Amino acid sequence: MGHLTFKNRGKILEELMLNTAEYYRANKIAYLRKTNPDYSHLSTSGKRGFEPSKSYFQVKLISKGDLDFYGVYSGKYFSIELKETKEENFKFSLIKKHQLTQMEEIDSCGGNAFLLIHFFHSKSSFWLITYSQLLLLKKKRGKLGIPELKEVNAFEIQITYPGILNLTPTWDLILRQSCLS
């Protein structure tokens, strides 16, 4: 996976999730996919449409896209937004309005919406927080750190097997808790 630096930090968490998705699908643990933004092809003349005779083309983004990853685990839909920070605190301003809206929509339909934060400072750590936990913290503060995540019982995620995030124990716990409530 290479040496970790802040310069390539966005690629680290995404690469871990891509590895995890591939491993989970190959082993029939979960269906996990990366989302892609909606775009349209533009011809080289600037008109809409794809010209197969050309060796290159341009694209135009149509929408801001969905949360970074989506899938199904134990019959339950989920979606995950990935964020990273080199600071000891995560700023809520890093979560875009359309991302919060999508998390709320998923939650209101009975799915699970998550934020996976990679704290990329002296001790690299990964934290999974549910949408409801995120709302609790957002009401209290403009930023959050590991102590605040622990306060709402967010989940620290470990890397197991080379380059795989160990998400299933956390998902199992969340599913059990949702059955009890």
What residues are paired with 48 via a beta bridge? 42
Range from 3-7, 27-31, 96-100 that averages highest in pLDDT:
27-31
In the predicted structure, residue 107 carries a pLDDT above the cut 50:
yes
Domains and their CATH numbers in the chain? 6-36+65-180 (3.40.1350.10)
- Distance in angstroms (rounded) separating the CA atoms of residues 165 and 105: 26
Gyration radius (Cα) of the chain, Å? 18
- The three-point CA angle 84-86-91 to 5° equals 65
What pLDDT score was predicted for residue 3?
Answer: 44
Task: Write phi, then psi, for 105 (nearest 5 degrees).
Answer: -65, -45
In the predicted structure, residue 2 carries a pLDDT above the cut 60:
no
pLDDT in tens, 48-79: 555 566 656 666 655 567 899 999 999 999 99
pLDDT band at 179 (very low <50, low <70, confident <90, very high): confident
Q: Residues of 25-38 as b/e, b for ≥16 C-beta within 10 angstroms?
A: eeeeebebeeeeee
Sheet containing strand 69-73, edge to edge, reads 31-34, 69-73, 76-85, 112-119, 125-130, 155-157
